[in-house]
Amino acid sequence: MPHDLTREHDREIGIPVAPSISDALKTVPAPDPGPSVDRRVVWVTVLAIAVSIAAALIAQALMRLIWLVTGLAFHGTFSIHPQTPLNNQLGLWVLLIPVVGGLIVGVMARYGSRAIRGHGIPEAMEQIILNESRIPPRMTFLKPLSAAIAIGTGGPFGAEGPIIATGGALGSLIGQLLRTTAMERKTLLAAGAAAGMAATFGAPVSAVLLSIELLLFEYRARSLIPVALAAAAATGVRMYFEGAHAVFSMPDLQQPSGASLTLYILVGAILGLASVLVTRAVYAIEDCFERLPIHWMWWPALGGLAVGAVGYFHPRTLGVGYENISDVLSGNLPISIIAGLALWKFVSWSISLGSGTSGGTLAPLFTIGGAIGALLGLLLRELIPSAGVDPRIAALVGMAAIFAGASRAMLASAVFAFETTLQPLGLLPLLGGCAASFLISSLLMRHTIMTEKIARRGVRVPADYEADFLDRLSVRDVAVRELITLRTTQTVGEIRQWIASHAPGSSHQGFPVLNQDGLLHSVVTRRNLLEPSTAPETRLAELANRIPVIVYDDASLRDAADHMVRHDIGRLPVIDRRSRLLIGIITRGDLLRANRQRLAHNTEPRRHLSLRSLLRSTLVRMRPMGPDCPPPPEEVRRG
């Protein structure tokens, strides 16, 4: 009778049956043939689109709320149409408007949620890393309300930061209300954040890139698809309300020359240095507020006093200021106003943000960087007129480069500047400038403006994303092939004598047990064999009664590691997928040793080709070949 049929017969008549290779194969999950996309991804995508539409509508409502507060605070009007603090008739009373806004935000932070302070992205990152993407539900309405008050009363922030934070909070809330995994909640949070940015600027691609670079900490189909479709849906909602025009309109650009491109990259490098200084200044100001002998609830009011004082002399620094960015990029402002924006917007924004009020970083950084870039462009045009530097392109590069350096979201910054201006000829300078800024920032600053706050709390934020090294190696590449195997017919006493003899291999902690057909029967540990309560005459076929957990030879090391964790074991027999025979074993130590190759790739520079061998190889390849051609000299052939 075949072996498997015998086992079935024994089961039917009640005889205990030890596990077999057929049972063991049932413990092996099917290998992942490609991207991890299944029906759950479709369901999460549907939720992400719903979240994005809601976030886009919230964005529209928040902008109108900001306009409403702005009209009431600076003009005494009740209107939800676009309004700015410019041309107000308050005189010296303008000093108190931001103070009142700061007082209200401080009270909301103390008695509502302290998490509304700041621009929201660091807090979202912290919740993703430490709290399985669970953001308190009250943040969904407290953050936009506090931001509308802070910005509407003159706060020098953009609306995009609070909208991004609100969209992320909404996605997290939906993930908490429904049965979702931590990974799915993170995807919904990132989808809401991307929707917020896309709904504000109409820049879906950069919104997706920002989510990847700052929130997802991965690039996988299961998260990329929902986030991308969410950003697209939010952009569609924005287009319905505001049209498809460029957010920051500017005249058409000319193709940059090679000389000007070099100078634009230089501008990007200078803005990288500026991003480091800006980031350090913001946190230095925050540290100064921490030393004040008053409760932090009053800090936003003190910051509001600085905002009002700067705004009295430079009204363009008050409020959202998106029109400032458009004017700088279009070259419509005189040098004095551009310089004033670069300096005083920074002073007003850094003090206000450092005080812990509710606001964003994107628009202020874009304003400051665009103004500095425009000034550098004007200077370079005067110093090197033959290079053909366009101050508008320099402003565009400066706008993107300062954010690329401050946040390390290089790709999002470059694509954002393109999407919001619809100027394709600016893409090459943007890429070079943002890369240069990224380089300088990485060399001079350990943390970014997004991560410094939570890094001080001991939170480690991933900065480099690469393919899992364990996922690139197969089990067959590292499995031990020289096995010490036991037979089901052997007794425990025989194995104990063998272990006592200290024979080669007897010190192992686990041993595969094969049946009479040479197939894996079970795995016994040294502890099982030396257990005093086990009778010496017990056969190994009777000793093991657990289904052995195995892994196929073509599985990845990541699969093997996950399998070990899932079953809480330290070794896995390796089975050939075709023959079903045992061909090796893999342990936790083998997984650790596999990392040596990764360390060698990253830390051991080697030269694998000498100049002499390169020249010899080139000579051989360049020599004409054919039946009439003489062979190359012996020394060249040897080379």
Q: What is the 3-state secondary structure (H, E, C) of 217-277?
A: CCCCHHHHHHHHHHHHHHHHHHHHHHCCCCCCCCCCCCCCCHHHHHHHHHHHHHHHHHHHH
Task: Give me 312's structure tokens.
Answer: 């009295």
d(CA 171, CA 618): 59
Decide: helix, strand or coil at residue 367.
helix
Task: Give me 192's structure tokens.
Answer: 């809401």
d(CA 314, CA 343): 10
- E strand spans, 56-107: none
User: In the chain, what's the furthest Cα-to-Cα distance?
Assistant: 102
d(CA 269, CA 221): 34
Q: How far is CA 163 from CA 54, 334, 354, 570, in A?
A: 11, 32, 20, 47
Q: Which of 455, 485, 514 is the last residue of a domain?
A: 455
pLDDT at 639: 38
pLDDT at 602: 66
Task: Give me 195's structure tokens.
Answer: 């929707």
Task: Give me 174's structure tokens.
Answer: 């939906």
d(CA 422, CA 416): 10
Task: Give me 93's structure tokens.
Answer: 């009373």
In a domain, 546, yes or no: yes
100 and 185 share one domain: yes
59 and 85 share one domain: yes
347 and 205 share one domain: yes
d(CA 335, CA 291): 38
Low-confidence ranges of the chain (pLDDT < 70): 1-36, 119, 544-546, 601-609, 614, 617-639
In a domain, 19, yes or no: no
593 and 630 share one domain: no
**Domains identified in the chain, total number:** 3
311 and 382 share one domain: yes
The residue assigned the tokens 């910051």 is 303
In a domain, 135, yes or no: yes
Q: What CATH number is associated with residue 218?
A: 1.10.3080.10
Contact 112, 326 (CB under 8 A): no
pLDDT at 552: 87
397 and 436 share one domain: yes
pLDDT at 629: 55
The pTM of this model reads 0.80
Kindly report the number of other CB atoms within 10 A of residue 36's CB atom.
13
d(CA 407, CA 275): 9
pLDDT at 624: 58
Kindly report the number of other CB atoms within 10 A of residue 79's CB atom.
13
Residue (of 556, 525, 561) closest to 540 by Cα position: 525
476 and 440 share one domain: no
Determine what percent of the chain falls in helix, strand and coil, rounding each to the nearest 5. Answer: 65, 5, 30
558 and 623 share one domain: no
d(CA 82, CA 78): 11
In a domain, 12, yes or no: no
Q: Which DSSP helix (H) or strand (E) runs through 368?
A: helix 362-383
pLDDT at 420: 93
pLDDT at 621: 56
- Where in the sequence is the domain holding 579, given as residue range(s)? 470-599
Residue (of 407, 406, 428, 408) closest to 417 by Cα position: 428
Contact 434, 401 (CB under 8 A): yes
In a domain, 626, yes or no: yes
d(CA 296, CA 107): 10
In a domain, 29, yes or no: no
The residue assigned the tokens 């702005």 is 70
Q: What CATH number is associated with residue 531?
A: 3.10.580.10
In a domain, 205, yes or no: yes
416 and 560 share one domain: no
595 and 633 share one domain: no
97 and 135 share one domain: yes
pLDDT at 260: 93
Q: Which residues face 551 on adjacent strands?
A: 574
552 and 448 share one domain: no
Decide: helix, strand or coil at residue 467.
coil
In a domain, 268, yes or no: yes
d(CA 115, CA 235): 27
